[in-house]
Amino acid sequence: MTEVAAPHEPAGARRPHLRRAPVVATWAAKTVMAVTGLIFTSFVVVHMIGNLKVFGGAADFDGYAEWLRTLLYPLVPHEGVLWALRVVLVLSLVAHIGCSVLLLRRSRAAAGHRRRRAGLTATSFGARSMMLTGVVLLLFVVFHVLDMTTGTPPAASDSFVPGSAYANLVASFARPWVAAFYGITMALLAVHVAHGVRTAAGDLGVTGVRSRAAVTVIGGVAAVAVLVGNAMIPIAVQAGWLS
């Protein structure tokens, strides 16, 4: 049986497959990454400020931890605000990781076998290391929760006591390998934050030269503050200033 060609279509020609629109548009994925990234940046800055209360002694730091558990009580249940924050962070983490993987796959598919060859700058280093630093930070988050929140061995120290925030922190950082891991992770976090804030601003429509410069400064200040503020704690424990 002879194939009948459609009008204006050569005989035997195959019609191209219609490409379906992606479930998540690229602009939407970038927006989600930007918003969730800024949520995490805000959290780590506030968390760092709270962690500095450890230098006020056990009473101050344990009091701060108890304040977090009872925030807005009895208007909300005990630890209600804390759990609400945890849910928001977990959902943001899932969305952030999912969109990052999606965008990475699309970027690689679009690039094909082409490879960029350019000099290494601070900006390019931050961009190229985002996936690596992101994976390390994810592993750190899991370790940190097991170490400081749930007290699950072998992440947590043998002397972990539920509710004793100051004692658990000091006991954890008294282990040299934990102190070193924490310090290295904070350095990677600083790189991630500095580049992430700049990228998020661009994805959210900040394009002016002065505005971009201001965002770069803000991201850099936040990154340095988080690095110095958090890294001071394991150094202080190792030096014997906190015990």
Work out the mean pLDDT of the chain and round it to a whole number: 89
Element (H, E) at 87: helix 80-111
What are the b/e assignments for 198-217, b being 16+ CB within 10 Å?
Answer: bbbbebeeeeeeeeeeebbe
Percent of the chain with pLDDT over 70: 85
pLDDT tens-digit readout, 155-201: 999 999 998 999 999 999 999 999 999 999 999 999 999 999 999 99
> Token pair of 149, please?
């929140």
Give the model's confidence band at 94: pLDDT under 50 very low, under 70 low, under 90 confident, else very high: very high
Write down the pLDDT at residue 126: 64
Report yes or no: 188 and 137 within 8 Å, Cβ to Cβ: yes
**What pLDDT does residue 14 have?**
54
pLDDT of 49 over the 80 cut: yes
Q: Is the pLDDT of residue 89 over 60?
A: yes
Q: Are 221 and 48 within 8 A, CB to CB?
A: no
Assess whether pLDDT exceeds 60 at residue 1: no
pLDDT in tens, 115-161: 555 555 656 666 778 888 999 999 999 999 999 999 999 999 999 99
Q: How many CB atoms lie within 10 A of CB 181?
A: 17
The DSSP line for 118-176 is: ----HHHHHHHTHHHHHHHHHHHHHHHIIIIIS--TTTS-TT--TT-HHHHHHHHHTSH
- Does the pLDDT at position 75 exceed 60? yes
Instruction: Tell me: pLDDT of 237 over 70.
Output: yes
Give the SS3 label for residue 222.
helix
CA distances from 62 to 59, 80, 131, 179 (A): 5, 18, 35, 21
d(CA 44, CA 40): 6
The torsion of the CA quartet 79, 81, 82, 87, rounded to 10 degrees, works out to: 120
The H or E element spanning position 189 is helix 176-203
Q: How confident is the model at residue 70 (pLDDT cuts 50, 70, 90)?
A: very high
Please tell me the predicted confidence (pLDDT) of residue 18: 52
Sign of CA dihedral 114, 117, 122, 123: negative
Which pLDDT band, with edges at 50, 70 and 90, does 110 fall under? confident
Q: Provide, rounded to the nearest whole percent, the portion of the chain with pLDDT above 90.
A: 77
CA–CA gap between residue 159 and residue 3 (Å, rounded): 80
pLDDT band at residue 233 under the 50/70/90 scheme: very high
Q: Picking from 3-7, 146-150, 188-192, 236-240, which range would have the lowest pLDDT averaged per residue?
A: 3-7
pLDDT on residue 57 = 96
The phi, psi pair for 93, rounded to 5°, reads -65, -45
- Which domains are assigned to the chain? 26-109+121-239 (1.20.1300.10)
Q: What is the pLDDT of residue 199?
A: 94
Tokens describing residue 59: 């009473």
If pLDDT is split at 50, 70 and 90, which confidence band does 8 have? low
